[in-house]
Every structure is written in C-alpha cells, then in structure tokens.
Amino acid sequence: MKRILIIGSTGQIGSELSWKLRSIYGESNVICGYFAPPFPEGFFEAGQTVKIDATDINQVADAVKKYQIDTIYNLAAILSATAEKNPQLGWDVGIGSLMNCLDVAREYHCAVFTPSSIGAFGSNTPHKNTPQDTIQRPNTVYGITKVAGELISDYYYERWGVDTRSVRYPGLISNLTLPGGGTTDYAVEIFYKAVKNEKFVCPLRAGTFMDMMYMPDALDAAIQIMEADPAKLKHRNSFNITAMSFDPERLYAEIKRHIPGFVMEYDIDPLKQAIADSWPDNMDDSCARIEWGWNPKYNLEAMTKDMIAILKKKMAVGNECYF
C-alpha cells in the first residue's frame, strides 16, 4: 500500500484529490500537507494533516521521514495570472517546492507527481492539435516554471532513477474549491453566476479556445499515471491530456440550454487574454491514451449538466462558496 504525502492539499485539485486518494489507499496512508488558509470545510477532521512550506526542504524531508512516505503529490504552485503579478513568488513556489520534493524523493526513494499545464506552451507552439513533443517557449513565469519543472523532473529520473511522472492539465472545472488565480478560472466562475441567476462578465474574448477538463477526470489522471506500468511509459514529464476544448461562447450556449435566462457580457482582461492567446486551442493527447490508457469520461455536455446540478444542490442548502 502506498504512503502518500500531498503538498498543497487545500487547493482546487488537492481538496478533492485528498478524498479520492484516501478512499483508494486508506485514510491512514494519506497525509495532507497544508500551507495557508482558506482550508476546505472539515479539512482537519478528515484525516492526518501536516503544515508544510514546501520551499523549505527541511519541512518536506521531516514529513517524508515522520510518515514514511513513498509517494509525493506536489501541488504547490502560484497559478498563471497571479504569478504574472508576482513573478518571483511564482518562481520560488513553482520551482523551489519542486526541487525540494525531488531532492527529498531522491534521498528517501519516493515517487513524485507534479502537474504541468497547458501553460507550458507558448505563442510559437502549434495551437491546433498541439503535439506531445513540440516547441515549448512560454512567455509567462508560470509557463517557464512548468517547462523547467518538466525538464528537471525528467533529469532526476534519468540521472538518479527518481520515479517522476506528470500530466499537462488543461483548465480544470470543479465545484468544491475555487480556482487559485488562473487564466482558465472563468470556466468555473461562469457556473456560479449562472446558478445564482446573475450576469457573468467574461474576461476572455469570444473565439478564445482552450483545453478544459472536469475535476473527476483530473483526479483519475493523477492516480492512473502514478499507477501506470513504468515499462509502458515512453514519456514521463509530462503528458498532454485533455477532455474538451471550448471558447466562452460555446460554454455560454451550453449553460443556456439549462438556464435559458442566463446573460453573459464581455469585459476583456488584457493580461488573461494575452496568456490565453499564447496557449493551445486543443492538445493531442494520444500518447497518454496509448502509454497509460487515458480516457476521460466527461465532455462539455456531461460536465455542464453535472456542474449545474451540484451547484444548485449546494445553493439549496445555503452553502456560501461563491465568486
């Protein structure tokens, strides 16, 4: 049975991955590292927790030793739009945490999962059907940390045999914890406005296509890649994965099928628009499908239906977790 440490377990992914990992590997085998509020409801009661600033290698090493960890899910990062406002912090958290995880993993023989992103691509990457192996010259600090992270993770695998694996997540849509300041956040925020019958002001232009994924598929990807047969992996850091690609108009139209009175207007955020324009429209994820069986369950229609149903249920019980 794995002994898992999740670093950054209170964020958009971690708050749901922690439940899923506990359900698979057992409550006592999953240790949730936290850094700063907000904390998900019931976080401290749900299982074992440990405070970790991942930019401090001693804190990572102490937790790995104390809990006899063999697998680290490293989710600490500053997302794209926020990192552009504080590039030094984006670099320190993105790369500092990763280097610490890799060094500790090397010493204590842990496997390491660190998500990369569609942000690892840039303006001169082919935007349509973006290949697995292609030009990666991002012009955001977030993207630079992702490319550097992919390369150094492969380096630790090739040089020292550290079992590093990763996926390039697209924008993630979820309904438990709000996203942490990314360019794709609009695709979550729009649902909260729709179920409240409020107008949504979209920060990206119509026609801005990006890859997206519903959280249940993102969690499956994180678990499946870490369980994959290593003999079948030709790539490691990092695999393109996607589930759907849409622009704001397509998403708006799909939500309106469920909430006909919903209204969306545009007020373009130049920073987010520039970032989104530099990212792929849709990635080719065939290597993930071939090498470890990637096969998402949710398309735009299924995700939209589920998001609206869950958020309506939350509203009905007066749960206040809104933009």
Which residues contact ligand NAD (rule: CB under 6 A)? 7-8, 10-14, 35-36, 52-55, 75-77, 79, 93, 97, 115, 117, 169, 171-172, 179-180, 182, 184
Ranges of beta strands (E only) in 115-155 are: 116-117, 128-130
Choose between 33 and 138: whose C-beta lies nearer to ligand SER.
138
Decide: residue 61, CB within 10 A, 0-12 exposed, 13-18 middle, 19+ buried: middle
Asked if 80 interacts with ligand SER (CB under 6 A), we say yes
* Residue 317: count of CB within 10 angstroms of its CB: 6
Choose between 57 and 259: whose C-beta lies nearer to ligand NAD.
57
Closest approach, Cβ 100 to ligand NAD, in A, equals 9
Q: How many residues bind ligand SER (CB under 6 A)?
A: 10
Report how far residue 232's alpha carbon sits from residue 148's, in angstroms, rounded to the nearest whole number. 24
Secondary structure letter of residue 238 according to DSSP: -
Q: Which residue's CB atom is positioned nearest to ligand NAD? A: 11
Per-residue x/- marks for ligand SER, 37-76, CB under 6 A? ----------------------------------------
Among 79, 95, 98, 147, binds ligand SER (CB under 6 A): 79
Is residue 146 within 8 Å of 94, Cβ to Cβ?
yes
- Which of the choices ligand NAD, ligand SER, none does residue 183 contact, using the CB cut-off of 5 to 8 A by kind? ligand SER
Backbone angles phi, psi at 249, to 5 degrees: -65, -40
Is residue 54 within 8 Å of 35, Cβ to Cβ?
yes
Closest approach, Cβ 174 to ligand NAD, in A, equals 8
Which tokens hold the place of 292? 């470890």
- Which of the choices ligand NAD, ligand SER, none does residue 29 contact, using the CB cut-off of 5 to 8 A by kind? none
Closest approach, Cβ 119 to ligand SER, in A, equals 4
- Interacting positions 170-199 with ligand SER (CB under 6 A): 171, 182-184
Report how far residue 53's alpha carbon sits from residue 97's, in angstroms, rounded to the nearest whole number. 8
What are the residue numbers of the active site? Answer: 142
Report how far residue 272's alpha carbon sits from residue 228's, in angstroms, rounded to the nearest whole number. 35
- Axis-axis angle for helices 14-25, 215-227 (nearest 10): 50
Applying CB under 6 A, which residues contact ligand SER?
79-80, 117-119, 142, 171, 182-184
